[in-house]
Structure formats: C-alpha cells, structure tokens
Amino acid sequence: MRVSDAEELTDGDPVEVAVENARRKARAIDAEPPVLGVDTVVHLDGVLYGKPADAGEARATLTRLSGRTHAVVSGLAVVEPDAVRTAHATTRVTFRELDAATLDWYLATEEWRDRAGGYAIQGRGAALVAGIEGDYLNVVGLPVQALLELLPGILHSGAAPLR
C-alpha cells in the first residue's frame, strides 16, 4: 500500500467526489498497472466530512454526527494500461447521542486522526455507533463487495496484483 499525495476534492456530490478522489489517488502512484485508488467521505446534510485537521475539528464533526444517521461513501478506481474503471459503495451509519464525556474520551484516543468523519468503526469508534445499514467494510475503508464487482477475477489464481 502506498499513500498518494494527490490533491483531493472536498466539495460536491459525495459519490462523484469519492470516485474522483480515488481516480486521482490511483493516477498519482508511480507503479505498474493495475493500481487501485480508494477514497472515503462522510456525508450529512449536504456537507462532506473528510479527515479532521485537528481535535477541535474532530469534535465539531462528531458533534454534528451525534444522534443522527449519515452516509459513508467510498469510491474505488482501478487504473489499467488502457482504461480506468470505477465503482462506489454507500453505507448508512447511525450514531448514538454523544455526551461531552464520551467525546472527550474518544478524542483522547487520537483514533480520529486520518479518518473520514473523525472516527474508526473498527476500533474504539464502534462505541459511537448505534447501527449501520450496508457494508461494514465500506465504513472501515475498503468496500470489498464493490471491489469484487469491479475486479471479479481478483480472487482467481493468476490475477494481476493491485498496487
């Protein structure tokens, strides 16, 4: 896995933003194709929430998500020598009502760093979640079902490895 330094979109339709950011990330990696790019955004009330810049922004984001249902949208892009193929997945996540003590506790874990929406459902962030509708792995950051639909041969022997 390599981290791309591609400039990311931060505003617009959540599916279009996530897919375009995934495309940009894949194209920015200097490797032999195929290259997989993935991007995840959190969407609520017309606002996209990416990775918070600091604890204050993480607190503000988590406060907005508290007691509400938001969408987690991931875009995938596979760059091949002759084509770019894309897919996306959307999962609805409902947060519990978060009081100040819970927010303080979670922010102190620093798990919010480098996480779209400021939380990691696969870690301590699970304590913030009341329920989900859809692909759990999408919320983790890689929607495996969408990946398998995009690259159905990936599980078969002889499939080209992704970079």
Mean pLDDT of 85-92: 97
Model pLDDT, residue 160: 55
Model pLDDT, residue 7: 85
Model pLDDT, residue 30: 85
Q: Domain map of the chain by residue range?
A: 14-152
Model pLDDT, residue 118: 97
Model pLDDT, residue 155: 80
Q: Give the model confidence (pLDDT) of 22-80 as tens digits.
A: 999 999 988 888 899 999 999 999 999 999 999 999 999 999 999 999 999 999 999 99
For the chain, the three-class secondary structure string (H helix, E strand, C coil) is CCCCCCCCCCCCCHHHHHHHHHHHHHHHCCCCCCEEEEEEEEEECCEEECCCCCHHHHHHHHHHHCCCEEEEEEEEEEEECCEEEEEEEEEEEEECCCCHHHHHHHHHHCCCCCCHHHCCCCCHHHHHEEEEECCHHHHHCCCHHHHHHHCHHHHCCCCCCCC
Q: Give the model confidence (pLDDT) of 1-16 as tens digits.
A: 677 778 888 899 999 9
Model pLDDT, residue 58: 98
Domain 14-152 has CATH 3.90.950.10: yes
Q: One of 39, 54, 114, 135 is an active-site residue; which one?
A: 39
Q: Give the model confidence (pLDDT) of 106-152 as tens digits.
A: 999 999 999 999 999 999 999 999 999 999 999 999 999 999 999 88
Annotated active-site residue 82? The verdict is no
Model pLDDT, residue 158: 59
